[in-house]
Chain A
Amino acid sequence: MRLALAVVSLVVLIGSGVVVYDQFHSRWEDNQKAYFNQALELAKTPAERASVAAQTPKIEQTIVTAFGTTRIDRCESCHIAVDDPRFTSAKQPLHTHPYSEAMGDVPKNGRWERRHKFTDFGCTSCHDGQGRGLEKADAHGEEEFWPDPMLGYTTQSNWKKDIAAHVQGKDYMQANCAQCHTSKDFAGTPLVSQGRELFFKTGCYGCHRIEGVSSGTLGPDLTEVGKERKLDYLWGHIVNPRDYTATSIMPKFKLSDDDKKALVVFLKSRRGSSLSESSVESYRLTTTNVTPAMPGTTTLAGMAPVLAPAARGEKLIGDLACMSCHKLGDRDGGISPDLSYEGLMRDQPWLMDHFRTPRSRVPDSNMPAFGLPEEDFQAITTYLLTRTTPPPAMSAADAYKNLCSRCHGEKGDGRGINAIYLDPAPRDLTSAEFMVNKPDARFVASIHDGVGGTSMPAWGKSLNDDQIKGVLDYVYQAFVKEPRHQLKARKVPEQNPVPQSAASDAHGEAIFMERCTGCHGRKADGHGPNSLDISPRPRNLRNAAFMQRVSDHRLFESVEYGVEGTAMPSWMDYGLSQSDVGDIVNYIRSLNQTGK
């Protein structure tokens, strides 16, 4: 018993000794002592030596109140030599902060005078990090919970390895310079300017809003993104948005590493506090080359030549970087549909409506409403309508490869390069179960007239009937690889036998809510809880442009007999009568009535 007590008490003594030592012995004290020793050796006069010798280690802190919130920076507790020019070649932490004329430091009487004095600016206003921290990991913000790790210097433990290497370097500090130096072309922050330009050039502004800069609504507001996100997230999210948000519709843009870096720095500088910004309007002024009239000079000389609408449209398409998503001729953004034959596929009202509100024509489109002036839309439409040169005659295999594979995929599996951005997704042509039993007429119609409410355009003016037939045959031969067969005759009414009425709609809605919402969703928009696990995805039954072109016959057949090759079951087997189906069809039709 006594032996145990003695052992325990000694262990407690050692333990408390370790704790006391740990609490009262700090790295910053060691660093300061090392600095004092070296300073003592470097001291030239007895007075200087005496003043160094009189110093004892203590917490050095700068209280900065000039920049928004009060900062308390204790960085100089370790980095005590930052303002001592004799330590330029010393190792960190006892290293002199570099002097640089680019930062406004000026040499005076053989000594540098700083533009940004540490007593006025502190350290974290430029570097970020945790100013109060006295341990290295805390102060540099290496802990993953700390929102502002030292910009470009510190990597947090939970950062992905491949990203961490890209977000190193002092260049990232430009994001903090831009907190005060907000003017558009400030020489000290070239990356911010480059990133801002890219924000317009790659069309980011179309989806994202930044207060005072852009007004997109499709994507998240980025006004304060620099405050909310760290470098690794910004970088990784640009590289592949779906690594972070599985359901993100943000495209993967083709950007070089330099461009990504500039964008990350620009985004990191968005902290919601900048005072002046360049807006979409001023960016457009630069693209149209209209120099704002200087007072006292004639305006005519500076005016851009008035272009014909089509030529102006072509120029606008280039200036507005439409091809960072779309394909036009040789330039291909790999995200959105090919515009090369647009004049053969769409007409003036379709294009104008689509420009004003893309989702009025393709309800699940990810194209932003760019909100340009009406005459710009008209100019671009005029230009696109001149794209009427049909593709040259070629073999069916080449026609598929050149015209279809961008969406439907080289292997016909519906996974072309831009397939993930299209909703509804391109049809998987290798799904024999779906393909073999549909009548030719339906596929020919889909190719010839396009599919309303989707990205499938009408090829009727670009390909003649023989070519369409040829492509269809090629699809069957190359992808379906199974013989076509006619289904047994089905008893399906041509017209809905149940007349439209409030009672019928209500009954249809009741059945729909009971049986269909698992996949098609309570709003019938195809986003039911099971929809993510189903391929092809359940149809959005509120896609009016699509639904208006679907006959009652096809709806009845799909509900009663199911759709082969999809998850849609045969509801006759689950006890739905023909009048029930009629009610459901009436309900779905009632959802898509326009002008209601």
Chain B
Amino acid sequence: MGAAPKTNKQGEEQIPRRHFLAWLSGVGILGSAMAGVFSTFVFMKPRATYGQPNRFRIGRPDEFPSGARMAIDSKRVCIVREGNKVAAISTTCTHLGCIVAPSATGFQCPCHGSQFDVDGNVTGGPAPKALSWYQVTLTPSGELEVDKDNEIQTGTYLSV
């Protein structure tokens, strides 16, 4: 069993059969190893967690009268309605995560006195940045849905 490369009649070098087989085995083993590593890494990120969902329904638009600023503490979001425009502003303080409360001038954090204006921009206190705005959509059943995974630009309203 010699391993020297053979030549065919035309003198071209043939790939020896055993090299080809070795290459094939390599592809097979490496390929399955990669599939294994890939799936292991994918499995590290769970597809579902047991926290409350980040996308949730908050009810029909007519439950929020014009001018309402309704904080839903369990969801940490404040629903703002002006005319026929609706938006959802985070009520988690950007400083240390306390729940801010709506006040006459906007939002007020009870922990360290951070103050925000009606749009969530910082007006005082230690908070480093403005409160996030979340995307609000209208579902086909006519309910408002807030998606906390989807932050949008301050001042973007949904028309209802």
Q: What separation, in Å, do the CA atoms of A24 and B40 have in the docked complex? A: 12
A59 touches B21 (CB 8 A): no
Chain A: how many interface residues by the 8 Å CB criterion? 42
Q: Which residues of A contact B7 (CB under 8 A)?
A: none
Q: What separation, in Å, do the CA atoms of A344 and B103 have in the docked complex? A: 90
- Indicate with 1 or 0, residue by residue over A1-26, a CB within 8 angstroms of chain B CB atoms: 01101101111110111011001100
Q: Which residue of A lies closest to B142 (CB)?
A: A111
Q: Which residues of B contact A85 (CB under 8 A)?
A: 140-141
Q: Which residue of B lies closest to A99 (CB)?
A: B141
Q: Which residue of A lies closest to B62 (CB)?
A: A109
- Indicate with 1 or 0, residue by residue over B133-144, a CB within 8 angstroms of chain A CB atoms: 001011111110
Q: Which residue of A lies closest to B18 (CB)?
A: A2
Q: What separation, in Å, do the CA atoms of A47 and B156 have in the docked complex? A: 13
Which residues from 1 to 52 on chain B have a C-beta closer than 8 Å to any C-beta of chain A? 18, 21-22, 24-29, 31-32, 35-36, 38-39, 42, 47-48, 50, 52
Given A9-B29, A12-B28, A119-B56, A51 contacting B137 (CB threshold 8 A) = yes
B60 touches A20 (CB 8 A): no
Which residues from 505 to 549 on chain A have a C-beta closer than 8 Å to any C-beta of chain B? none
B21, B39, B42, B62: the one within 8 Å of A5 (CB): B21
Q: What separation, in Å, do the CA atoms of A84 and B42 have in the docked complex? A: 32
Q: What separation, in Å, do the CA atoms of A62 and B24 have in the docked complex? A: 48
Residue B53 lies at the interface, judged by CB distance under 8 Å to chain A: yes
Given A12-B32, A51-B137, A111-B141, A6 contacting B25 (CB threshold 8 A) = yes
Which residues from 109 to 160 on chain B have a C-beta closer than 8 Å to any C-beta of chain A? 135, 137-143, 150, 158
B28 touches A10 (CB 8 A): yes
A86 touches B28 (CB 8 A): no
If over half of A's interface residues share one DSSP class (helix, strand or loop), that class is named, otherwise mixed; here it is helix
Q: What separation, in Å, do the CA atoms of A15 and B50 have in the docked complex? A: 32
Residue B57 lies at the interface, judged by CB distance under 8 Å to chain A: yes
A10 touches B48 (CB 8 A): no
Q: Which residues of B contact A339 (CB under 8 A)?
A: none
B139 touches A16 (CB 8 A): no
Residue A143 lies at the interface, judged by CB distance under 8 Å to chain B: no
Q: Which residues of A contact B38 (CB under 8 A)?
A: 20
Q: Which residues of A contact B50 (CB under 8 A)?
A: 63, 72
Residue A490 lies at the interface, judged by CB distance under 8 Å to chain B: no
A9 touches B140 (CB 8 A): no
Given A16-B36, A24-B42, A83-B139, A61 contacting B21 (CB threshold 8 A) = no
Which residues from 23 to 54 on chain A have a C-beta closer than 8 Å to any C-beta of chain B? 23-24, 39, 42, 47-48, 51, 54
Q: Which residues of B contact A13 (CB under 8 A)?
A: 27-29, 31-32, 35
Residue A58 lies at the interface, judged by CB distance under 8 Å to chain B: yes
How distant is A436 from chain B, measured CB to nearest CB, in Å? 78
A10 touches B24 (CB 8 A): yes
A86 touches B18 (CB 8 A): no
Q: Which residues of B contact A24 (CB under 8 A)?
A: 39, 42
Residue A113 lies at the interface, judged by CB distance under 8 Å to chain B: yes
B29 touches A2 (CB 8 A): no
Interface centre among B21, B22, B42 (most CB of A within 10 A): B21
B39 touches A23 (CB 8 A): yes
Q: What separation, in Å, do the CA atoms of A82 and B26 have in the docked complex? A: 49
Residue A127 lies at the interface, judged by CB distance under 8 Å to chain B: no
Q: Which residues of B contact A111 (CB under 8 A)?
A: 141-142
Q: Which residue of A lies closest to B28 (CB)?
A: A9
A59 touches B24 (CB 8 A): no
Residue A406 lies at the interface, judged by CB distance under 8 Å to chain B: no
Q: Which residues of A contact B22 (CB under 8 A)?
A: 2, 6
Q: What separation, in Å, do the CA atoms of A16 and B29 have in the docked complex? A: 10
B25 touches A2 (CB 8 A): yes
Q: Which residue of A lies closest to B140 (CB)?
A: A84
- Indicate with 1 or 0, residue by residue over A61-81, a CB within 8 angstroms of chain B CB atoms: 111000000001010000000
How distant is A517 from chain B, measured CB to nearest CB, in Å? 59
How distant is A8 from chain B, measured CB to nearest CB, in Å? 8
Given A2-B21, A13-B32, A119 contacting B57 (CB threshold 8 A) = yes
Q: Which residue of B lies closest to A23 (CB)?
A: B39
Given A9-B25, A59-B48, A86 contacting B140 (CB threshold 8 A) = yes
Q: Which residues of A contact B135 (CB under 8 A)?
A: 51
How distant is B127 from chain A, measured CB to nearest CB, in Å? 29
Q: Which residues of B contact A3 (CB under 8 A)?
A: 21
Q: Which residues of A contact B25 (CB under 8 A)?
A: 2, 5-6, 8-9
Q: What separation, in Å, do the CA atoms of A19 and B28 have in the docked complex? A: 15
Q: What separation, in Å, do the CA atoms of A233 and B38 have in the docked complex? A: 46
B32, B39, B140: the one within 8 Å of A15 (CB): B32
Which residues from 83 to 116 on chain B have a C-beta closer than 8 Å to any C-beta of chain A? none
Q: What separation, in Å, do the CA atoms of A6 and B137 have in the docked complex? A: 55
How distant is A168 from chain B, measured CB to nearest CB, in Å? 29
Q: Which residues of B contact A108 (CB under 8 A)?
A: 60
Q: Which residues of B contact A54 (CB under 8 A)?
A: 150
A9 touches B53 (CB 8 A): no
Q: Which residue of A lies closest to B137 (CB)?
A: A51
A12 touches B29 (CB 8 A): yes
Q: Which residues of B contact A63 (CB under 8 A)?
A: 50, 52-53
A6 touches B24 (CB 8 A): yes
Q: Which residue of A lies closest to B145 (CB)?
A: A51
Q: Which residue of A lies closest to B143 (CB)?
A: A83
How distant is B35 from chain A, measured CB to nearest CB, in Å? 4
Q: What separation, in Å, do the CA atoms of A51 and B147 have in the docked complex? A: 11
Q: What separation, in Å, do the CA atoms of A119 and B145 have in the docked complex? A: 12
Q: What separation, in Å, do the CA atoms of A457 and B58 have in the docked complex? A: 73
Q: Which residues of B contact A9 (CB under 8 A)?
A: 24-29, 32
Q: What separation, in Å, do the CA atoms of A567 and B53 have in the docked complex? A: 72
How distant is B156 from chain A, measured CB to nearest CB, in Å? 11
Q: Which residues of B contact A48 (CB under 8 A)?
A: 137-138
Q: Which residues of A contact B47 (CB under 8 A)?
A: 58-59
Q: Which residues of A contact B (CB under 8 A)?
A: 2-3, 5-6, 8-13, 15-17, 19-20, 23-24, 39, 42, 47-48, 51, 54, 58-63, 72, 74, 83-86, 108-109, 111-113, 117, 119
8 contacts between A and B (CB under 8 A): A6-B22, A9-B28, A10-B28, A13-B27, A19-B39, A20-B39, A63-B53, A86-B140
Shortest 9 CB-CB distances between A and B: which pairs?
Answer: A9-B28, A2-B21, A16-B32, A59-B48, A84-B140, A6-B24, A16-B35, A13-B28, A9-B25
New A-B contacts (7) at CB < 8 Å, excluding given A9-B28, A23-B39, A61-B48: A13-B27, A20-B39, A83-B143, A84-B140, A111-B142, A113-B60, A119-B56
